[in-house]
Chains A and B, each alone.
Chain A
Amino acid sequence: MKGLNVSNLSYSYGTKQALRDVSFDVPAGQFCALLGPNGAGKSTLFGLLTRLLATSDGRITIAGHDLHRHPRLALAQLGIVFQQTTLDLDLSVRQNLKYFAALHGLSGRDATRRIDAALDKLSMLDRAGEKARALNGGHRRRTEIARALIHDPSVLLLDEPTVGLDAAARAAITRHVHQLCDDGTTVLWATHLTDEVYPDDHLVILHRAQVLATGRCADICNGVPLPETFLTMTATPA
Protein backbone atom coordinates (compact mmCIF):
# COMPACT_ATOMS: atom_id res chain seq x y z
CA MET A 1 0.00 0.00 0.00
CA LYS A 2 1.82 3.11 -1.22
CA GLY A 3 -0.80 5.76 -0.55
CA LEU A 4 -2.16 6.59 2.87
CA ASN A 5 -3.66 4.13 5.28
CA VAL A 6 -5.38 4.95 8.55
CA SER A 7 -6.74 2.14 10.67
CA ASN A 8 -8.65 2.13 13.95
CA LEU A 9 -7.35 5.52 15.02
CA SER A 10 -8.69 6.99 18.26
CA TYR A 11 -7.66 10.09 20.17
CA SER A 12 -9.02 12.08 23.08
CA TYR A 13 -8.26 15.37 24.81
CA GLY A 14 -8.79 14.34 28.40
CA THR A 15 -12.34 13.03 28.52
CA LYS A 16 -13.38 14.52 25.17
CA GLN A 17 -13.12 11.98 22.37
CA ALA A 18 -11.81 13.76 19.25
CA LEU A 19 -11.48 10.68 17.01
CA ARG A 20 -13.19 7.33 17.48
CA ASP A 21 -11.98 4.25 15.59
CA VAL A 22 -11.27 6.14 12.37
CA SER A 23 -10.25 3.99 9.40
CA PHE A 24 -9.84 4.80 5.70
CA ASP A 25 -7.48 4.23 2.78
CA VAL A 26 -6.36 6.63 0.08
CA PRO A 27 -4.95 4.69 -2.88
CA ALA A 28 -1.72 6.02 -4.43
CA GLY A 29 -2.25 8.87 -6.90
CA GLN A 30 -5.79 9.59 -5.69
CA PHE A 31 -7.27 12.90 -4.54
CA CYS A 32 -9.12 12.28 -1.30
CA ALA A 33 -11.32 14.95 0.24
CA LEU A 34 -11.73 14.75 4.00
CA LEU A 35 -15.05 16.47 4.46
CA GLY A 36 -16.38 17.39 7.85
CA PRO A 37 -18.07 20.26 9.62
CA ASN A 38 -16.13 22.43 12.07
CA GLY A 39 -15.17 20.42 15.14
CA ALA A 40 -15.49 17.07 13.37
CA GLY A 41 -11.92 16.09 14.27
CA LYS A 42 -10.17 17.02 11.01
CA SER A 43 -7.40 19.05 12.65
CA THR A 44 -6.84 16.35 15.26
CA LEU A 45 -6.51 13.82 12.47
CA PHE A 46 -3.99 16.13 10.76
CA GLY A 47 -2.08 16.49 14.04
CA LEU A 48 -1.79 12.70 14.21
CA LEU A 49 -0.92 12.30 10.52
CA THR A 50 1.89 14.88 10.86
CA ARG A 51 3.11 13.44 14.20
CA LEU A 52 2.49 16.72 16.03
CA LEU A 53 0.20 14.54 18.15
CA ALA A 54 0.70 10.89 18.97
CA THR A 55 -1.55 8.05 20.01
CA SER A 56 -1.05 4.36 20.58
CA ASP A 57 -4.65 3.66 19.52
CA GLY A 58 -4.56 2.78 15.84
CA ARG A 59 -2.08 2.83 13.01
CA ILE A 60 -1.05 5.27 10.28
CA THR A 61 0.92 4.15 7.22
CA ILE A 62 2.37 6.74 4.85
CA ALA A 63 3.67 5.40 1.53
CA GLY A 64 4.17 2.02 3.17
CA HIS A 65 5.97 3.35 6.28
CA ASP A 66 4.42 2.99 9.71
CA LEU A 67 4.41 6.49 11.24
CA HIS A 68 4.77 5.24 14.79
CA ARG A 69 7.56 2.74 14.15
CA HIS A 70 9.48 4.58 11.41
CA PRO A 71 8.56 8.25 11.87
CA ARG A 72 11.51 9.64 9.92
CA LEU A 73 10.90 7.47 6.85
CA ALA A 74 7.19 8.29 6.95
CA LEU A 75 7.70 12.05 7.42
CA ALA A 76 10.21 12.11 4.55
CA GLN A 77 7.36 10.95 2.27
CA LEU A 78 4.96 13.57 3.52
CA GLY A 79 4.28 17.05 2.16
CA ILE A 80 2.17 19.24 4.45
CA VAL A 81 0.22 22.46 4.00
CA PHE A 82 -1.08 23.69 7.34
CA GLN A 83 -4.27 25.63 7.84
CA GLN A 84 -2.44 28.69 9.16
CA THR A 85 0.25 30.16 6.99
CA THR A 86 3.71 29.04 8.06
CA LEU A 87 5.74 31.31 5.77
CA ASP A 88 8.30 33.68 7.25
CA LEU A 89 6.87 36.92 5.92
CA ASP A 90 10.20 38.77 6.16
CA LEU A 91 11.92 36.28 3.87
CA SER A 92 11.55 36.00 0.11
CA VAL A 93 9.64 33.14 -1.50
CA ARG A 94 12.92 31.47 -2.47
CA GLN A 95 14.44 31.93 1.02
CA ASN A 96 11.35 30.33 2.57
CA LEU A 97 11.65 27.36 0.25
CA LYS A 98 15.41 27.06 0.80
CA TYR A 99 14.84 26.93 4.56
CA PHE A 100 12.30 24.15 4.15
CA ALA A 101 14.58 22.25 1.74
CA ALA A 102 17.36 22.39 4.35
CA LEU A 103 15.00 20.96 6.99
CA HIS A 104 14.76 17.98 4.66
CA GLY A 105 18.53 17.85 4.27
CA LEU A 106 18.52 19.33 0.73
CA SER A 107 21.04 21.99 -0.24
CA GLY A 108 23.08 23.40 -3.12
CA ARG A 109 22.22 22.86 -6.75
CA ASP A 110 19.89 19.97 -6.00
CA ALA A 111 17.78 22.21 -3.72
CA THR A 112 17.77 25.05 -6.28
CA ARG A 113 16.65 22.70 -9.06
CA ARG A 114 13.85 21.27 -6.92
CA ILE A 115 12.72 24.72 -5.75
CA ASP A 116 12.56 26.03 -9.32
CA ALA A 117 10.60 22.95 -10.44
CA ALA A 118 8.12 23.22 -7.55
CA LEU A 119 7.59 26.97 -8.07
CA ASP A 120 7.15 26.43 -11.81
CA LYS A 121 4.54 23.75 -11.16
CA LEU A 122 2.48 26.24 -9.14
CA SER A 123 3.17 29.13 -11.62
CA MET A 124 5.13 31.02 -8.94
CA LEU A 125 8.63 31.00 -10.43
CA ASP A 126 8.52 34.64 -11.50
CA ARG A 127 7.62 35.67 -7.91
CA ALA A 128 10.55 33.79 -6.33
CA GLY A 129 12.44 36.96 -5.36
CA GLU A 130 9.48 38.72 -3.72
CA LYS A 131 9.04 38.94 0.04
CA ALA A 132 6.29 36.62 1.28
CA ARG A 133 4.68 39.67 2.91
CA ALA A 134 4.12 41.22 -0.53
CA LEU A 135 2.09 38.24 -1.79
CA ASN A 136 -1.70 38.02 -1.65
CA GLY A 137 -3.42 35.15 0.17
CA GLY A 138 -3.75 32.99 -2.94
CA HIS A 139 -0.09 33.34 -3.87
CA ARG A 140 1.02 32.65 -0.31
CA ARG A 141 -0.94 29.41 -0.45
CA ARG A 142 0.58 28.48 -3.77
CA THR A 143 4.02 29.14 -2.30
CA GLU A 144 3.22 26.84 0.61
CA ILE A 145 2.01 24.11 -1.73
CA ALA A 146 5.17 24.50 -3.85
CA ARG A 147 7.21 24.29 -0.65
CA ALA A 148 5.45 21.08 0.35
CA LEU A 149 6.46 19.51 -2.99
CA ILE A 150 10.21 20.26 -2.93
CA HIS A 151 11.21 16.86 -1.54
CA ASP A 152 8.91 14.97 -3.97
CA PRO A 153 6.58 13.57 -1.31
CA SER A 154 4.40 10.56 -2.11
CA VAL A 155 1.58 11.93 0.04
CA LEU A 156 0.44 15.54 0.27
CA LEU A 157 -1.71 16.66 3.21
CA LEU A 158 -3.58 19.96 3.09
CA ASP A 159 -5.55 21.21 6.06
CA GLU A 160 -8.31 23.53 4.82
CA PRO A 161 -5.87 25.24 2.46
CA THR A 162 -8.42 27.61 0.93
CA VAL A 163 -9.50 29.30 4.17
CA GLY A 164 -9.70 33.07 3.69
CA LEU A 165 -9.27 33.01 -0.10
CA ASP A 166 -11.63 34.52 -2.66
CA ALA A 167 -13.65 32.27 -5.03
CA ALA A 168 -11.22 32.56 -7.96
CA ALA A 169 -8.13 31.75 -5.89
CA ARG A 170 -9.99 28.87 -4.22
CA ALA A 171 -10.97 27.34 -7.56
CA ALA A 172 -7.44 27.78 -8.96
CA ILE A 173 -5.75 26.12 -6.00
CA THR A 174 -8.27 23.27 -5.92
CA ARG A 175 -7.61 22.68 -9.64
CA HIS A 176 -3.82 22.85 -9.22
CA VAL A 177 -3.83 20.27 -6.43
CA HIS A 178 -6.13 17.93 -8.37
CA GLN A 179 -3.61 18.08 -11.23
CA LEU A 180 -0.81 16.95 -8.89
CA CYS A 181 -2.47 13.53 -8.67
CA ASP A 182 -1.78 13.04 -12.39
CA ASP A 183 1.92 12.76 -11.45
CA GLY A 184 1.16 10.03 -8.92
CA THR A 185 0.96 12.16 -5.76
CA THR A 186 -1.58 11.01 -3.19
CA VAL A 187 -3.54 13.94 -1.78
CA LEU A 188 -5.56 14.25 1.41
CA TRP A 189 -7.44 17.56 1.37
CA ALA A 190 -9.38 18.50 4.50
CA THR A 191 -12.26 20.88 3.94
CA HIS A 192 -15.78 21.75 4.99
CA LEU A 193 -16.59 23.22 1.56
CA THR A 194 -18.36 20.78 -0.74
CA ASP A 195 -17.62 22.68 -3.98
CA GLU A 196 -13.92 21.74 -3.64
CA VAL A 197 -14.75 18.05 -4.14
CA TYR A 198 -15.01 16.60 -7.68
CA PRO A 199 -17.35 13.66 -8.43
CA ASP A 200 -14.46 11.26 -9.14
CA ASP A 201 -12.58 12.15 -5.95
CA HIS A 202 -12.24 9.71 -3.12
CA LEU A 203 -14.29 11.04 -0.20
CA VAL A 204 -14.14 10.53 3.56
CA ILE A 205 -16.94 12.16 5.59
CA LEU A 206 -15.96 12.79 9.20
CA HIS A 207 -18.54 13.85 11.74
CA ARG A 208 -18.38 13.95 15.53
CA ALA A 209 -15.10 12.05 15.69
CA GLN A 210 -16.29 9.19 13.43
CA VAL A 211 -16.12 8.27 9.75
CA LEU A 212 -19.66 8.31 8.34
CA ALA A 213 -18.80 7.32 4.78
CA THR A 214 -15.79 6.56 2.65
CA GLY A 215 -15.60 5.84 -1.10
CA ARG A 216 -15.91 7.54 -4.48
CA CYS A 217 -17.79 10.83 -4.12
CA ALA A 218 -20.28 10.08 -6.93
CA ASP A 219 -21.01 6.65 -5.40
CA ILE A 220 -21.64 8.08 -1.93
CA CYS A 221 -23.94 10.78 -3.31
CA ASN A 222 -25.82 8.35 -5.56
CA GLY A 223 -27.23 11.07 -7.79
CA VAL A 224 -27.97 13.53 -4.98
CA PRO A 225 -25.86 16.74 -5.00
CA LEU A 226 -22.95 16.54 -2.53
CA PRO A 227 -24.03 19.58 -0.43
CA GLU A 228 -27.39 17.92 0.17
CA THR A 229 -25.86 14.52 0.92
CA PHE A 230 -23.37 16.11 3.31
CA LEU A 231 -26.01 18.15 5.13
CA THR A 232 -28.31 15.16 5.48
CA MET A 233 -25.55 12.93 6.82
CA THR A 234 -24.19 15.46 9.30
CA ALA A 235 -27.61 16.65 10.48
CA THR A 236 -28.25 13.39 12.29
CA PRO A 237 -26.26 12.69 15.46
CA ALA A 238 -23.35 10.31 14.86
Chain B
Amino acid sequence: MNPYFTSLFAIVTREALRFIHQRERFIAALVRPLVWLLVFAAGFRAALGLSIIPPYQTYITYETYIVPGLCGMIMLFNGMQSSLSLVYDREMGSMKLLLTSPLPRWWLLFSKLVGSTAISILQVYAFLAIAAAFGVTMPPAGYVAVLPALVVAGIMLGALGLVLSSFIKQLENFAGVMNFVIFPMFFLSSALYPLWKMAESSELLYTICALNPFTHAVELIRFALYLHFNGTALIWTVLATVVFTVLAIWGYTPSRNGTGKKG
Protein backbone atom coordinates (compact mmCIF):
# COMPACT_ATOMS: atom_id res chain seq x y z
CA MET B 1 0.00 0.00 0.00
CA ASN B 2 1.11 3.58 -0.58
CA PRO B 3 2.98 4.88 2.53
CA TYR B 4 0.64 7.87 2.74
CA PHE B 5 -2.48 5.74 2.91
CA THR B 6 -0.80 3.24 5.22
CA SER B 7 -0.13 6.02 7.73
CA LEU B 8 -3.57 7.61 7.25
CA PHE B 9 -5.27 4.26 7.87
CA ALA B 10 -3.12 3.61 10.97
CA ILE B 11 -3.77 7.06 12.49
CA VAL B 12 -7.53 6.85 11.88
CA THR B 13 -7.63 3.31 13.29
CA ARG B 14 -5.73 4.45 16.37
CA GLU B 15 -8.17 7.32 16.94
CA ALA B 16 -11.06 4.87 16.58
CA LEU B 17 -9.48 2.37 18.98
CA ARG B 18 -8.81 5.09 21.50
CA PHE B 19 -12.43 6.19 21.23
CA ILE B 20 -13.71 2.64 21.69
CA HIS B 21 -11.51 2.27 24.78
CA GLN B 22 -13.04 5.42 26.25
CA ARG B 23 -16.72 4.49 26.38
CA GLU B 24 -17.37 7.21 28.96
CA ARG B 25 -16.27 9.77 26.38
CA PHE B 26 -18.86 8.49 23.91
CA ILE B 27 -21.61 8.60 26.51
CA ALA B 28 -20.59 12.08 27.71
CA ALA B 29 -20.51 13.31 24.11
CA LEU B 30 -24.11 12.14 23.67
CA VAL B 31 -25.49 13.19 27.04
CA ARG B 32 -24.50 16.85 26.55
CA PRO B 33 -26.58 17.53 23.41
CA LEU B 34 -29.39 15.29 24.63
CA VAL B 35 -29.75 17.38 27.79
CA TRP B 36 -30.01 20.46 25.57
CA LEU B 37 -32.53 18.77 23.29
CA LEU B 38 -34.73 17.11 25.88
CA VAL B 39 -34.49 19.50 28.82
CA PHE B 40 -33.35 22.94 27.69
CA ALA B 41 -35.41 22.94 24.48
CA ALA B 42 -38.51 21.72 26.31
CA GLY B 43 -38.30 24.63 28.72
CA PHE B 44 -37.30 27.15 26.10
CA ARG B 45 -39.83 26.38 23.35
CA ALA B 46 -42.51 28.51 24.95
CA ALA B 47 -40.22 31.52 25.32
CA LEU B 48 -38.93 31.57 21.77
CA GLY B 49 -41.28 32.08 18.83
CA LEU B 50 -39.83 30.98 15.52
CA SER B 51 -40.96 32.36 12.19
CA ILE B 52 -40.62 30.43 8.96
CA ILE B 53 -37.06 30.92 7.73
CA PRO B 54 -35.07 28.94 5.16
CA PRO B 55 -34.52 26.03 4.93
CA TYR B 56 -37.79 25.41 6.82
CA GLN B 57 -41.01 25.63 4.84
CA THR B 58 -43.40 25.41 7.73
CA TYR B 59 -43.51 26.26 11.42
CA ILE B 60 -41.16 24.04 13.39
CA THR B 61 -40.74 23.23 17.06
CA TYR B 62 -37.75 24.60 18.93
CA GLU B 63 -36.39 21.06 19.32
CA THR B 64 -36.32 20.72 15.55
CA TYR B 65 -34.55 24.06 15.23
CA ILE B 66 -31.70 23.26 17.58
CA VAL B 67 -30.85 19.78 16.25
CA PRO B 68 -28.36 21.08 13.60
CA GLY B 69 -26.83 23.38 16.24
CA LEU B 70 -26.41 20.44 18.58
CA CYS B 71 -24.78 18.42 15.76
CA GLY B 72 -22.35 21.34 15.47
CA MET B 73 -21.92 21.32 19.25
CA ILE B 74 -20.92 17.65 19.20
CA MET B 75 -18.32 18.42 16.54
CA LEU B 76 -17.08 21.52 18.35
CA PHE B 77 -16.60 19.61 21.60
CA ASN B 78 -15.03 16.69 19.78
CA GLY B 79 -12.60 19.04 18.05
CA MET B 80 -11.64 20.43 21.46
CA GLN B 81 -11.42 16.93 22.93
CA SER B 82 -8.97 15.97 20.14
CA SER B 83 -7.04 19.13 20.85
CA LEU B 84 -6.93 18.24 24.55
CA SER B 85 -5.68 14.75 23.75
CA LEU B 86 -3.00 16.25 21.48
CA VAL B 87 -1.75 18.45 24.31
CA TYR B 88 -1.84 15.37 26.57
CA ASP B 89 0.01 13.33 23.92
CA ARG B 90 2.64 16.02 23.71
CA GLU B 91 3.10 16.12 27.47
CA MET B 92 3.22 12.32 27.63
CA GLY B 93 5.52 12.03 24.62
CA SER B 94 3.46 10.03 22.13
CA MET B 95 3.06 13.07 19.88
CA LYS B 96 6.83 12.92 19.36
CA LEU B 97 6.42 9.54 17.73
CA LEU B 98 4.10 11.05 15.15
CA LEU B 99 6.21 14.13 14.53
CA THR B 100 9.44 12.18 13.98
CA SER B 101 7.92 10.06 11.22
CA PRO B 102 9.65 10.63 7.86
CA LEU B 103 6.30 11.40 6.22
CA PRO B 104 5.48 15.10 5.72
CA ARG B 105 4.19 16.73 8.86
CA TRP B 106 1.22 18.30 7.09
CA TRP B 107 0.09 14.84 6.01
CA LEU B 108 0.36 13.45 9.54
CA LEU B 109 -1.65 16.36 10.93
CA PHE B 110 -4.21 15.95 8.15
CA SER B 111 -4.50 12.25 9.03
CA LYS B 112 -5.16 13.22 12.65
CA LEU B 113 -7.88 15.57 11.40
CA VAL B 114 -9.51 12.85 9.33
CA GLY B 115 -9.47 10.55 12.36
CA SER B 116 -11.09 13.04 14.69
CA THR B 117 -13.67 14.03 12.05
CA ALA B 118 -14.65 10.39 11.56
CA ILE B 119 -15.24 10.05 15.32
CA SER B 120 -17.30 13.27 15.32
CA ILE B 121 -19.51 12.03 12.50
CA LEU B 122 -20.11 8.76 14.31
CA GLN B 123 -21.24 10.69 17.38
CA VAL B 124 -23.51 12.97 15.34
CA TYR B 125 -25.29 10.02 13.74
CA ALA B 126 -25.75 8.37 17.14
CA PHE B 127 -27.27 11.64 18.39
CA LEU B 128 -29.54 11.98 15.33
CA ALA B 129 -30.75 8.41 15.88
CA ILE B 130 -31.63 9.11 19.54
CA ALA B 131 -33.31 12.41 18.57
CA ALA B 132 -35.38 10.51 15.99
CA ALA B 133 -36.34 8.01 18.67
CA PHE B 134 -37.73 10.96 20.66
CA GLY B 135 -39.70 12.12 17.62
CA VAL B 136 -37.37 14.86 16.36
CA THR B 137 -36.90 13.72 12.78
CA MET B 138 -35.55 15.13 9.50
CA PRO B 139 -36.42 14.20 5.91
CA PRO B 140 -35.01 10.66 5.41
CA ALA B 141 -32.73 11.72 2.53
CA GLY B 142 -31.41 14.53 4.75
CA TYR B 143 -29.56 11.97 6.88
CA VAL B 144 -27.49 11.08 3.80
CA ALA B 145 -27.23 14.60 2.38
CA VAL B 146 -25.82 15.90 5.66
CA LEU B 147 -22.75 13.65 5.47
CA PRO B 148 -20.61 15.93 3.25
CA ALA B 149 -21.62 18.93 5.39
CA LEU B 150 -20.53 17.03 8.51
CA VAL B 151 -17.19 16.20 6.87
CA VAL B 152 -16.51 19.87 6.03
CA ALA B 153 -17.68 21.13 9.45
CA GLY B 154 -15.76 18.37 11.27
CA ILE B 155 -12.51 19.15 9.47
CA MET B 156 -12.93 22.88 10.15
CA LEU B 157 -13.51 22.35 13.89
CA GLY B 158 -10.79 19.68 14.08
CA ALA B 159 -8.36 22.11 12.43
CA LEU B 160 -9.32 24.73 15.03
CA GLY B 161 -8.53 22.14 17.70
CA LEU B 162 -5.12 21.53 16.10
CA VAL B 163 -4.35 25.25 16.10
CA LEU B 164 -5.24 25.50 19.78
CA SER B 165 -3.19 22.42 20.67
CA SER B 166 -0.13 23.90 18.96
CA PHE B 167 -0.39 27.07 21.03
CA ILE B 168 -1.46 25.64 24.39
CA LYS B 169 1.69 24.65 26.20
CA GLN B 170 0.21 22.97 29.24
CA LEU B 171 -2.78 20.82 29.98
CA GLU B 172 -3.79 23.11 32.83
CA ASN B 173 -4.44 25.96 30.40
CA PHE B 174 -7.21 24.03 28.76
CA ALA B 175 -9.93 25.37 31.05
CA GLY B 176 -9.27 28.78 29.52
CA VAL B 177 -10.02 27.37 26.09
CA MET B 178 -13.43 26.29 27.31
CA ASN B 179 -14.21 29.79 28.50
CA PHE B 180 -12.65 31.76 25.70
CA VAL B 181 -13.23 29.56 22.66
CA ILE B 182 -15.96 26.94 23.02
CA PHE B 183 -18.62 28.93 24.86
CA PRO B 184 -18.33 32.18 22.86
CA MET B 185 -18.22 30.19 19.63
CA PHE B 186 -21.32 28.23 20.56
CA PHE B 187 -23.42 31.03 22.03
CA LEU B 188 -22.42 33.61 19.40
CA SER B 189 -23.82 31.46 16.62
CA SER B 190 -27.10 30.38 15.09
CA ALA B 191 -26.99 27.08 16.97
CA LEU B 192 -29.59 28.02 19.62
CA TYR B 193 -31.44 30.95 18.05
CA PRO B 194 -31.88 32.31 14.54
CA LEU B 195 -29.67 35.29 13.77
CA TRP B 196 -32.63 37.62 13.13
CA LYS B 197 -33.57 37.15 16.77
CA MET B 198 -30.05 38.24 17.74
CA ALA B 199 -30.31 41.28 15.41
CA GLU B 200 -33.41 42.38 17.32
CA SER B 201 -31.37 42.52 20.53
CA SER B 202 -28.04 43.88 19.33
CA GLU B 203 -26.67 44.76 15.92
CA LEU B 204 -23.10 44.25 17.17
CA LEU B 205 -23.81 40.75 18.49
CA TYR B 206 -25.57 39.94 15.24
CA THR B 207 -22.48 40.99 13.26
CA ILE B 208 -20.21 38.87 15.46
CA CYS B 209 -22.55 35.88 15.05
CA ALA B 210 -22.62 36.37 11.28
CA LEU B 211 -18.80 36.38 11.17
CA ASN B 212 -18.43 33.34 13.42
CA PRO B 213 -17.36 30.36 11.29
CA PHE B 214 -19.27 28.07 13.64
CA THR B 215 -22.52 29.79 12.56
CA HIS B 216 -21.76 28.85 8.98
CA ALA B 217 -20.86 25.28 9.89
CA VAL B 218 -24.23 24.97 11.68
CA GLU B 219 -26.10 26.51 8.75
CA LEU B 220 -24.33 24.19 6.32
CA ILE B 221 -25.53 21.23 8.39
CA ARG B 222 -29.04 22.70 8.83
CA PHE B 223 -29.56 23.27 5.10
CA ALA B 224 -28.10 19.87 4.16
CA LEU B 225 -30.43 18.11 6.63
CA TYR B 226 -33.34 19.64 4.72
CA LEU B 227 -31.82 18.85 1.31
CA HIS B 228 -30.85 22.44 0.58
CA PHE B 229 -27.42 23.72 -0.39
CA ASN B 230 -26.08 26.83 1.34
CA GLY B 231 -23.21 28.12 -0.82
CA THR B 232 -22.30 31.05 1.45
CA ALA B 233 -22.01 28.76 4.48
CA LEU B 234 -19.85 26.34 2.50
CA ILE B 235 -17.49 29.09 1.32
CA TRP B 236 -17.15 30.50 4.86
CA THR B 237 -16.55 27.07 6.37
CA VAL B 238 -13.98 26.08 3.73
CA LEU B 239 -12.24 29.44 4.11
CA ALA B 240 -12.05 29.00 7.89
CA THR B 241 -10.75 25.44 7.37
CA VAL B 242 -7.93 26.73 5.15
CA VAL B 243 -6.98 29.46 7.63
CA PHE B 244 -7.03 27.08 10.63
CA THR B 245 -5.08 24.40 8.72
CA VAL B 246 -2.36 26.83 7.65
CA LEU B 247 -2.11 28.10 11.24
CA ALA B 248 -1.94 24.53 12.57
CA ILE B 249 0.86 23.55 10.16
CA TRP B 250 2.73 26.71 11.11
CA GLY B 251 2.10 25.98 14.81
CA TYR B 252 3.69 22.55 14.44
CA THR B 253 6.81 23.58 12.51
CA PRO B 254 9.97 22.55 14.41
CA SER B 255 11.42 26.07 14.44
CA ARG B 256 8.52 27.22 16.66
CA ASN B 257 10.01 25.05 19.46
CA GLY B 258 6.53 23.75 20.15
CA THR B 259 7.55 20.33 21.30
CA GLY B 260 10.89 20.88 22.94
CA LYS B 261 11.77 20.67 26.57
CA LYS B 262 14.78 21.89 28.38
CA GLY B 263 17.31 19.36 29.58
Q: Which A24-46 residues have a C-beta within 8 angstroms of B?
A: 38-44, 46
Return the CB mask of B240-263 against A: 1 if under 8 Å, else 0.
000000000000011101011111
- Is B254 within 8 A of A105, CB to CB? no
- Is A44 within 8 A of B260, CB to CB? yes
Interface assignment of A90: CB less than 8 Å from any CB of chain B: yes
Interface size class of A (residues with CB under 8 A): 35 or more
Chain A: CB-nearest residue to B98: A103
Residues of A within 8 A of B101 (CB): 75, 103-104
Interface assignment of B201: CB less than 8 Å from any CB of chain A: no
Residues of B within 8 A of A76 (CB): 102
- Is B99 within 8 A of A52, CB to CB? yes
Residues of A within 8 A of B54 (CB): none
- Is A84 within 8 A of B92, CB to CB? yes
What residues of chain A have their CB less than 8 Å away from a CB belonging to chain B? 13, 16, 18, 38-44, 46-47, 50-55, 71-73, 75-76, 78, 80, 82-88, 90-91, 95, 98-100, 102-108
Interface assignment of B3: CB less than 8 Å from any CB of chain A: yes
- Is B97 within 8 A of A103, CB to CB? yes
Return the CB mask of B91-127 against A: 1 if under 8 Å, else 0.
0111011111111100010000000000000000000
Residues of A within 8 A of B21 (CB): 90
Do A99 and B260 form a contact, CB below 8 Å, given A72-B104, A86-B93, A105-B103? no
Residues of A within 8 A of B47 (CB): none
Chain A: CB-nearest residue to B253: A54
- Is B255 within 8 A of A54, CB to CB? yes
Q: A51-B99, A105-B3, A105-B6 are in contact. List 19 more A-B contacts (CB 8 A).
A: A39-B263, A42-B263, A43-B263, A46-B263, A50-B96, A51-B100, A52-B100, A53-B260, A54-B254, A84-B93, A88-B18, A90-B18, A91-B14, A91-B17, A99-B10, A103-B7, A104-B101, A105-B102, A106-B6
Residues of A within 8 A of B17 (CB): 90-91, 95
Chain B: CB-nearest residue to A46: B263
* B233 → chain A closest CB, angstroms: 36
- Is A104 within 8 A of B102, CB to CB? yes
Closest 4 CB pairs of A and B: A105-B3, A43-B263, A102-B10, A54-B254
Interface assignment of B46: CB less than 8 Å from any CB of chain A: no
- Is B262 within 8 A of A44, CB to CB? yes
Residues of B within 8 A of A39 (CB): 262-263
Residues of A within 8 A of B262 (CB): 13, 16, 18, 39, 43-44
Count A-B pairs with CB separation below 8 Å: 108
For the complex, count residues of B whose C-beta is within 8 A of A. 35
| Complex Cα spacing A131 to B38, Å | 40
| Complex Cα spacing A119 to B98, Å | 21
Interface assignment of B9: CB less than 8 Å from any CB of chain A: yes
Residues of A within 8 A of B9 (CB): 102, 107
- Is B100 within 8 A of A80, CB to CB? yes
- Is A82 within 8 A of B96, CB to CB? yes
- Is A41 within 8 A of B100, CB to CB? no
* B105 → chain A closest CB, angstroms: 9
* B169 → chain A closest CB, angstroms: 13
- Is B254 within 8 A of A52, CB to CB? yes
| Complex Cα spacing A168 to B255, Å | 40
Do A98 and B96 form a contact, CB below 8 Å, given A44-B263, A52-B254, A107-B1? no
Return the CB mask of B125-137 against A: 1 if under 8 Å, else 0.
0000000000000
| Complex Cα spacing A164 to B108, Å | 31
- Is B103 within 8 A of A72, CB to CB? yes
- Is A86 within 8 A of B97, CB to CB? yes
- Is B260 within 8 A of A86, CB to CB? no
- Is B102 within 8 A of A86, CB to CB? no
Residues of A within 8 A of B14 (CB): 88, 91, 99
Residues of A within 8 A of B7 (CB): 102-103, 105
| Complex Cα spacing A16 to B260, Å | 14
- Is B257 within 8 A of A53, CB to CB? yes
Residues of B within 8 A of A86 (CB): 92-94, 96-97
Residues of B within 8 A of A38 (CB): 263
